[in-house]
Structure 1
């Protein structure tokens, strides 16, 4: 029984939803994979918070430029017409509402759209929020890319976050390895399911009362 898709497949699924002409920031970690799956011919301009607009996909191993990296210190490419600028200018773009979409990872997302993605409170964990808070409140649409379940089997979709918040009521959609969820009206709405998942099995995994978005085009639309 297949209930999950790979991160590469999930990255491709997210890339397909990013509209033509969008200015987009991809968060550190799994979201950076989206850059390698953007549809050919669609103009999508990628922004990195360390000062690059016009980022391209990851380079081939023999074409790596050690001076050209993203915010996660991964080697990247620059497309024709790319621009470089000061770190402060980059954050002004983020805070000023100039990004159409950002894709972030998460530890938890609440059914009210609250995001917790920078700390679990574990000693030795990441010491600061970095640019995630600026992206969460500054981007016009915030998408989350994450596994549905944490390593201990608990759901990352929750009624209320228990980890320190990155942003309040900021998440519009959550892309997981089991399904895609919209966040509307204080509830997660199933938009698309992967593999053999159903609204009922997803409700069991998350422990939440799930709805179905009107835009659902999968068997999930036959649920509640």
Structure 2
């Protein structure tokens, strides 16, 4: 799946953190401050990663009542367990790994698979093409049929645009397992898309160089 599909599903502005002093703070420095329980360290962690964590949860679960509580759960766990982080430079992966664990639990507890609908209200699009919007909604419905792990690995890689090594770290899998399950998720998406001419054309266009 190319970056073109990701840009359609999630405009680049969604990924941009607010311009605050915290956004420029070195992750390793912040990690050390958290471990030392330095004043304002918790606020800095929130400012640095809360936008991305919230977006990941919304993209996976949808705009549900659980989002705020789950975001809080992620940061409570991060503050509590940061002392376990061995590589201070890996703070982002540590936070996203906790978010992934929280999402897995939420998906399994809910017993249903619900993907966020990227409505114009939540995610403004640069393309008013109604056909593309219909195809995107059908793709999202298809993603609802994936298992929690396959959906998460797909979202982390193709929506969040994480590197494979970062996806593996977040999912706590080996790189080989990550590649295998991502291939499985992609395969299922494309296999099931074959039943829908509009969606098939949409995905084929997204895979063009």
Q: Which has the higher helix share?
A: 2
TM-score by length of 2: 0.29
Q: Which has the higher strand share?
A: 1
TM-score by length of 1: 0.27
